[in-house]
Structure 1
Amino acid sequence: MRINLVLELMDTPGQLIKVLNPISSLGANLVTVIHKRDYKNENGNVPVQLTIEGEHEDLKNVVERFEKLGFSIIEMDGVVKKEKITTIFFGHIVDQDLRDTMDRINDLDGVEIAAFDIKLNGEEESTALINIETDIGKKQTVFDKIAEIAEEKNLLVINEV
């Protein structure tokens, strides 16, 4: 049995070897690897395409190990597993408990803030650009939570269309 995966890895030395080690140690074989270092996303991560083969249980164990090691599986056998959402908050973001805002988004099942960039303007209102990764089908849940937080904290929110 074969499985095709697309993972996102940090573009730092040693990341590719970390993802390749579990394959053979769990009884699977590497068929192909395409490491596209020229295609960095907004977080500086690079896609790595893998084709691995083995028994069903071995492949399942490899995927579980990747997830346990914190590797983001973007696609599995042509099925997109993660969606990316970009949103902007505008207002007194820091004064409205920034940690609480981030925790409430991250507490959603299958949702994780991948990047959070804030532009401070002294005592004036600030702008935060938030990149979120979510499991497929959870986009509306994320938008609803963001809208709830923005209304509660009196922030303007601009979601992607």
Structure 2
Amino acid sequence: MRINLVLELLDVPGQLVKILEPISMLGANLITIIHKRDYKSDNGKVPVQLTLEGEQESLKKVVNRFEELGFTIIEMDGVIKKEKITTILFGHIVDQDLKDTMDRINDLESANIVGFDIKLDGEEKSTALINIEADVGNKQIVFDRIEEIAGEKNLLVINEV
């Protein structure tokens, strides 16, 4: 059996080797690897495409191990597993407990903040650009949570279309 995966790795030394170790240890074979180091996602990660071969159980163990190691599998056999969501908050973001806002978004099982940029304007209102990675099909759940938080904190939300 073969499986095609696209993972996202940090662009730091040792990451590629780290994904190769579980493959042989768990009884799978590496057929193809494409490391697109020239392309980086919004969160600074590099896509790596793998084709693996092995018994179905071995391949499941490899995928599980990748997830345990914190590697994001964005595509499996052509099926997108993760999607990027971008939203903007405007208002007194820092005054409204920035950590609480981020924690409440990250509390969603299916979503994680992968980028957070804030532009401060002295005592004036600030703007935050939030990049979120979520399981496919959960975009509305993420938007609903952000709207809920923004409503409580009197922040304006601009979601992507």
Map 1:63-82 onto structure 2 (within 5 A). 63-82=63-82
Q: Does 1:29 align with 2:29?
A: yes
Task: State the Cα RMSD in Å.
Answer: 0.6
Report what 2:108 is aligned to.
108
Q: Secondary structure at the match of 1:85?
A: strand
Map 1:8-23 onto structure 2 (within 5 A). 8-23=8-23
Rounded to whole Å, the distance in 2 between the matches of 1:134 and 1:40 is 18
Residue 84 of structure 1: how far off its partner (Å): 0.5
Residue 138 of structure 1: how far off its partner (Å): 0.4
Q: Does 1:93 align with 2:93?
A: yes
Q: Does 1:5 align with 2:37?
A: no
How does the TM-score come out when normalised to structure 1?
Answer: 0.98
Residue 122 of structure 1: how far off its partner (Å): 1.2
Q: Residues 77-118 of structure 1: CA distance to partner in whole angstroms, max 9, x if unpaired?
A: 000000110000010001001111011111111110011111
Residue 43 of structure 1: how far off its partner (Å): 1.5
Rounded to whole Å, the distance in 2 between the matches of 1:98 and 1:55 is 46
Residue 39 of structure 1: how far off its partner (Å): 0.9
Rounded to whole Å, the distance in 2 between the matches of 1:57 and 1:123 is 57
Rounded to whole Å, the distance in 2 between the matches of 1:56 and 1:32 is 18
Percent of counterpart pairs with the same letter?
A: 78
Report what 1:135 is aligned to.
135
One-letter amino acid of the structure 2 residue matched with residue 90 of structure 1: F
Q: Residues 99-151 of structure 1: CA distance to partner in whole angstroms, max 9, x if unpaired?
A: 11011111111110011111111111111010000001100000111111111
One-letter amino acid of the structure 2 residue matched with residue 158 of structure 1: I
Question: Structure 2: any 5+ residue segments left out of the alignment?
Answer: none
Q: Does 1:149 align with 2:146?
A: no
Q: Secondary structure at the match of 2:93?
A: coil
How does the TM-score come out when normalised to structure 2?
Answer: 0.98
Aligned positions, number:
161
